[in-house]
Amino acid sequence: MCGIVGYLGNEETSSILFESLKRLEYRGYDSFGFATIHDNKLWITKDKGKISDVVQIKLPGSIGISHTRWSTHGPPSKINAHPHTDCKNRIALVHNGIIANYLSLRNKLKERGHIFKSETDTEVLIHLIEEYYKPEDGVKLEDAVSSALNAVEGTYAITVISALEKKIVGARKESPLVLGIGNSCFYLGSDISSFLPYTNKTIPLDDFEMVVIEPESYKITDFKTGLLKDKKITKIEWNQKESSKEGFDHFMLKEIFEQPQILKIALNICEEEISKLAETIKEADNVYITATGTSLHAAMTSEYWFSKLAKLPVRVVDSSEFEEKAVLDEKTLVIGVTQSGETYDTLRAMNYAKKNNCKLASIVNIPSSTATRISDITILQGSGMEIGVAATKTFTTQLMILLRLALKLAKNNGETVSSPTMKNERCLLSKDVGDKISEIEEQLKNVPRYIEEALTQKEKIKSITEKYCINVKNFLYIGKGINYPTALEGALKFKEITYHHAEGMPAGFLKHGTISLISDDMYTIAFVPRDDRKILSNVEEIKSRGGKIIGIVSGTAKHFDETINVPRVSDIVSPLVFAPAYQLLAYYTAVALGRDIDQPRHLAKTVTVE
């Protein structure tokens, strides 16, 4: 979604904001804007387009705010770009989120004589702040901001400046905003990556918190009650190399190739952390996992692992559907899987679970993100910053953590433990399953190596995309059992960055309708672990109707027009080794089509609106 950065210190703010905003461009990239204070005046520049295409931003002053937009209300344009200003040009504001009651507020404000310039929901907020802002009567900017926020409905992270005061006011409700504390200076950002080159000391704001930063100090209050908040400073350890492409053409390609290394880190997440969540799962009567997009596909894969390995019926629900579907009580555990820890739908589902007295856990990549702060237990992924909008390394890390959890529970089951469906019963692992588990554990340790091996197929994958994926515009991705979510994720990656149509589905489902689409303009990608006979009969059904098929194969099957071979592993581990192959298939197709790989059209890395 939109990215926000603010800076108050002794340096010229516009160059710091410019560099910081470029690091947030993965959040939104349809327009950008800056506002600074100098000589008791606001200085503003904004435009449609990408901040990365701009060479320099030069505005005077050492206090400023900036924004990169992912439009919700009003198309990308210079007028709709943030910052927005009041009628007197005294205050400026940037916003991430949606003001739900903006239409009624806009009408009321217009009646009171306010002039609106843009089509955005955001603009009502600045005019509302203007209504309350009476510096001549001693009403300070923060007073006006909190009065305005108490009158709006919706979600927001905002930063506001006034030409008349040396401060930045920031506040949040259901959209992220973090404070960075530097040497004699302060930063505000949508996430820590925006200011990490300058400081790793941060305080993430929680809902209904407002921060006022001034030259020598900062103050955090609850804007509903006006009470002062005492918040701890967190130090973030983060590798700076992550924000450079290091010789790769795109961040996505770099992140795909980082997977062997990142998965070694995931293998080393300490056993106690995995055990602690496994224990919590065991103690719960019901377990839900909620997530969306790629994280949902990781969760869906784990549903098979929990059921096959640990005999645990875990329910996975798309977080945007969670409130409609979940049946919750105080003995229910809800696990949110979210790389950013800031996805609106997932946080909403988690908060709904909290209201229903459930225990909350999460698997999250970004330290100190909202999901980590509302959870009782969190496993941090340790995947490092992922900049490409299309998730790759964070997905395989989620898979690795979830598989480790399922294995832990499977082993515990064998030793002593009861499961939610078999309360009070104890089940012992049969020798078969026990053998299988040690084989899987062995393979799991080798996953980084398997992925390295799969990545050696890159030239072959590139040539397949050139031959098959450029002119054809429709693709079916099919997989069976544990690789049904693989098919969904393969199709999602392909859609996101190639803009071609792709649908994932269970291989067995195809013959119940979709097979009518098989034609010269509908090719199939099939995931085949260890020569799975059942899926191969579905493959034959497609072939006999003249359909072209690319097989991604962890075995020796040769039934395809083209085959991409990945290491032969057990079905259980196969979703991990298939990932680099379909990620590269999407990547090279998108490159050949000249797509914007790291910032595909219409998408944002972190979706912080409903």
- Going by the DSSP 8-state scheme, the letter that residue 599 receives in this structure is S
Q: Which stretch in 167-175, 189-197, 338-346, 425-433 sits in contact with ligand AGP by CB under 6 A?
A: 338-346
Q: Measured from the CB of residue 338, what is the shortest distance to ligand AGP in angstroms?
A: 3
Q: Catalytic site residue 270?
A: no
- Helix then strand then coil, in percent of the chain rounded to 5, is 40, 25, 35
Please tell me whether residue 443 binds ligand AGP under the rule CB under 6 A.
no
- When binding is defined by CB under 6 A, the residue of 391, 403, 507, 585 that contacts ligand AGP is 391
Among 292, 397, 419, 498, interactor with ligand AGP by CB under 6 A: 292
Tokens representing residue 64 in the block = 């400023």
- Choose between 346 and 589: whose C-beta lies nearer to ligand AGP: 346
CB of 500 to ligand AGP, least distance (A): 15
Instruction: Tell me the residue number closest to ligand AGP, measured at CB.
Output: 293
User: What is the bridge-based pairing of β-strands 63-69 and 3-8?
Assistant: antiparallel
Is 295 a residue that touches ligand AGP (CB under 6 A)? Answer: yes
- Chain positions 485 to 544 lying near ligand AGP, rule: CB under 6 A, are 496
Q: Which residues of 432-445 are buried (b: 16+ CB within 10 A; e: fewer)?
A: ebeebbeebeebbe
Residue 469 among the catalytic residues = no
Q: Does 294 bind ligand AGP (CB under 6 A)?
A: yes
- Answer yes or no whether residue 339 interacts with ligand AGP by CB under 6 A: yes
Q: Is residue 386 involved in binding ligand AGP (CB under 6 A)?
A: no
Q: Which of 433, 606, 608, 609 binds ligand AGP (CB under 6 A)?
A: 606
Task: Say whether residue 557 binds ligand AGP (CB under 6 A).
Answer: no
Using CB under 6 A as the binding rule, whether residue 259 contacts ligand AGP is answered as no
Residue 511 near residue 530, CB atoms below 8 Å: no
Pick the binder of ligand AGP from 13, 20, 66, 343 (CB under 6 A): 343
Q: Is 590 in the site for ligand AGP (CB under 6 A)?
A: no
How far is the first Cα of the chain from the last one, in angstroms, to the nearest whole number? 11
For ligand AGP, the binding residue among 253, 289, 389, 429 (CB under 6 A) is 389
Q: Which stretch binds ligand AGP (CB under 6 A): 66-74, 145-153, 377-385, 599-607?
A: 599-607
CB 334 within 8 A of CB 328: yes
Nearer to ligand AGP, 65 or 591 (CB): 591
Instruction: Record the tokens describing residue 51, joined without a space.
Output: 């901040």
CB of 554 to ligand AGP, least distance (A): 23
C-alpha closest to that of 495 among 386, 393, 602: 602
Cα(90)–Cα(228) distance, integer angstroms:
27
Q: How far is the CB of 294 from ligand AGP (least distance, A)?
A: 3
Sheet holding 209-214: strands in order across? 84-85, 91-99, 154-162, 168-173, 209-214, 217-222
Residue 607 binds ligand AGP (CB under 6 A): yes
Cα gap 186→332, rounded to integer Å: 41
| Secondary structure class of 384 (helix, strand, coil) | coil
Query: Strand, helix or coil at 178?
Result: strand
Residue among 282, 393, 495, 605 flagged as catalytic: 605
Q: How far apart, in whole angstroms, are the C-alpha atoms of residue 362 and residue 376? A: 8
Backbone angles phi, psi at 66, to 5 degrees: -150, 170
Number of H helices and number of E strands within the chain?
Answer: 18, 24
Rule CB under 6 A: say whether 338 interacts with ligand AGP: yes
Paired residues of 13 in beta bridges: none
Which residues of this chain interact with ligand AGP, rule CB under 6 A? Answer: 292-295, 338-340, 343, 346, 389-391, 496, 605-607
Annotated catalytic residues are 2, 605
